[in-house]
Structure 1
Amino acid sequence: MSQPTAATEPGPSILAERTLLGIFVHFIAILPFVGFVATAVIYLVSTHEFTRANARNALNWHLLVGGSFLATFVLLFGLDALFESVPVPGLLETAVFVPVFLLTFGAIALGFLSVFVWIVAMAKAIFGEAWEYPFAPAFVGADADGDRPS
């Protein structure tokens, strides 16, 4: 005589909608240097839409912040080297460096803002939302028209 089998639950149904990796990708993104690479790898290899959406959003933020720091670095040191080798009037040098200073200030502000937006993004992911970071263009995952993915 066979015994009746009890129906077992496959696990929390919440994990069918969202994954732990989709939530923790924002925490992983906080890690210096490793965060960008890990977020990109998660985006590329993940097959779960929630995880990919969160990784895409974190990656777009990384590209914005990293690109602003890279542009600041190149402009500051590139223009400094140029002005060392090519003499220019002081007023022109000042006029050129004011926008670079503003870009530097903006890049530093984005760096500090990163801590807060990563916390908000992870909290939103816990509750099932793939939150798009503010100010971050859709560098990754945009369709042919350049629109944000839905």
Structure 2
Amino acid sequence: MSTDSTPNESPSPESTSTEPGPSILTERTLLGIFVHFIAILPFLGFVTAGIIYAVSEHEFTRANARNALNWQLLVSGSFLAVFVLVFGLGTLFEYVALPGVIETVVFVPVFALAFVSILLGFLNFFVWIVATAKAIFGDAWRYPFAPEFV
């Protein structure tokens, strides 16, 4: 029996040069993973996601920041639209006398938009968990219902 190494033997653990932990960060960055958590708050979220998207050079980070930015623009835009419509129309109807039926017809879509905004606000706390989990596993997940603003 010979002690010489043959080509069919597997290399010893000392001869492998793979780094299990840090090498994964060349494919995905921590900022690309945590951008979803950073961007969770409406109005502040689209600012931070936009800054990360603008300054990042890593494609994984940019893709995740773009997805988070698109979602936060949808959520923040819906809250802003409801705020402007409710207070703007309320103020308008204080100065302009309209029949109650017309006011009701005008405010029904506004209340529907308010309901959708509240649902998006609640959904905001769940989709960031999914997006963060997907980013951990290397996928830049597109948020549901979020149009491509960026």
TM score, norm. by length of structure 2: 0.84
How much has 1:32 moved relative to structure 2? 5.6
How far apart, in 2, do the equivalents of 1:83 and 1:94 lie?
11
Amino acid of the residue matched to residue 42 of structure 1? I
How far apart, in 2, do the equivalents of 1:33 and 1:68 lie?
11
Amino acid of the residue matched to residue 65 of structure 1? V
Unmatched segments (≥5 aa) in structure 1: 1-5, 141-150
Q: Which ranges of 4 or more aligned residues in structure 1 deviate by more than 6 Å? A: none
1:123 aligns with 2:139: no
CA deviation digits over 1:46-77, x for unaligned, max 9? 00000000000000001000000011011001
Amino acid of the residue matched to residue 120 of structure 1? V
Q: Which residue of 2 aligns with 1:114?
A: 124
Q: Which residue of 2 aligns with 1:89?
A: 99
Amino acid of the residue matched to residue 122 of structure 1? T
Amino acid of the residue matched to residue 109 of structure 2? P
Q: Which residue of 2 aligns with 1:146?
A: none
Q: 1:22 aligns with which of 16, 24, 32?
A: 32
Percentage identity across paired residues of the two chains: 73
- Give the direction of change, closer, same or farther, for the CA distance of 1:98–1:31 in structure 2 (3 Å limit): closer
Q: Which residue of 1 aligns with 2:48?
A: 38
Amino acid of the residue matched to residue 103 of structure 1? L
How far apart, in 2, do the equivalents of 1:7 and 1:98 lie?
67
- Give the direction of change, closer, same or farther, for the CA distance of 1:31–1:86 in structure 2 (3 Å limit): closer
Out of 28-37 and 61-70, give the one that drifted further. 28-37
Q: CA RMSD in A?
A: 1.7
TM score, norm. by length of structure 1: 0.84
CA deviation digits over 1:13-34, x for unaligned, max 9? 2111111110010111124654
Unmatched segments (≥5 aa) in structure 2: 1-14
1:75 aligns with 2:75: no
Contact 2:43 2:72 in 1 (8 A): no
Q: 1:135 aligns with which of 121, 128, 145?
A: 145
How far apart, in 2, do the equivalents of 1:32 and 1:75 lie?
18
Task: Report the secondary structure of 2:142's partner residue.
Answer: coil
How far apart, in 2, do the equivalents of 1:55 and 1:116 lie?
17
